[in-house]
A = this chain, B = another copy of it.
Amino acid sequence: MAPHTETRWLNDNEQRAWRAYLVATEKLYQKIDRELQQNSGMPHAYYMILAMLSEAPGNGLKISELADVLTSSVSRLSHALTKLETLGWIRKDADPSDKRVSYACLTDEGLRVLVEAAPGHVRTVASNMFDRLTEQQVEQLYEISAAILSAVAPEEIPELTLRPVKGDDATARP
C-alpha cells in the first residue's frame, strides 16, 4: 500500500449517490440476467456478444475487436465463444491473410435466437430503467457515464463508444 499524506473520502452526497448507484445497478443487472437466462438460456454477457456481432458488417468481427467493443478480456471472450460455438450460435472463421486471426461470426441460428431474445430484454431494460426516467435524466445519465468513461477508459474515442450506434438491443430490430 503506497503511503499517502492525506486520504480521500466521500462526502455525504457522494456516499449517498454511490450507495444508490451500486444497489440500483446490482438489482438491475440481476433482473436483466434472470430474464435472459429464463427466457433465452443465456446471461447478458452472451446476449451482448450476439448483439455486437449482429451489428457488425457481415455479422462477424475479429475476436480481439469484439473483446474491445464488449469491454471483455480476450480470455473471457474465448471461453464464451467456445460455449456459443457448441450451441451453434456463432462460428469461427479463419483469416487467410493472417493465420493468427479469427473472426467470430453470427450463425443464422444465432441471429434467430438473438431476434427472439431482444424484445424481452429491451422490455426489461425499458420498464426497469427508461420508463422511470425523464428525458432530461436520460441525457444526464449519458453525460455522467461519459464523464466516468473519460476516467476509466481515457484511450477510447468517445464518438466510437458513445454515439448512438444502433446499439445493443436495438440491433435485433427486424
Interface size counted on chain A using CB atoms at 8 A: 70
Q: Tell me, rounded to whole Å, the shortest Cβ–Cβ distance linking A125 to chain B.
A: 6
CB neighbours (8 Å) of A137 from chain B are 140, 143-144, 147
Could you tell me if B17 and A139 are in contact, using CB atoms closer than 8 angstroms?
yes
CB neighbours (8 Å) of A148 from chain B are 24, 27-28, 128-129, 132-133
A135 to B142, CA, bound (A): 16
Could you tell me if B18 and A139 are in contact, using CB atoms closer than 8 angstroms?
no
A143 to B162, CA, bound (A): 22
Could you tell me if B162 and A20 are in contact, using CB atoms closer than 8 angstroms?
yes
Contact pick for A22, options B123, B126, B146, B168, CB 8 Å: B168
In A8-28, which residues have CB < 8 Å from any B CB?
A: 8-10, 12-28
Contact pick for A152, options B28, B71, B145, B165, CB 8 Å: B28
A132 to B152, CA, bound (A): 10
Contact pick for A23, options B71, B127, B140, B151, CB 8 Å: B71
A130 to B13, CA, bound (A): 10
Could you tell me if A147 and B132 are in contact, using CB atoms closer than 8 angstroms?
yes
Interface residues of A (CB under 8 A from B): 1, 4, 7-10, 12-28, 30-31, 39, 71, 116, 119-120, 122-123, 125-133, 135, 137-153, 161-170, 173
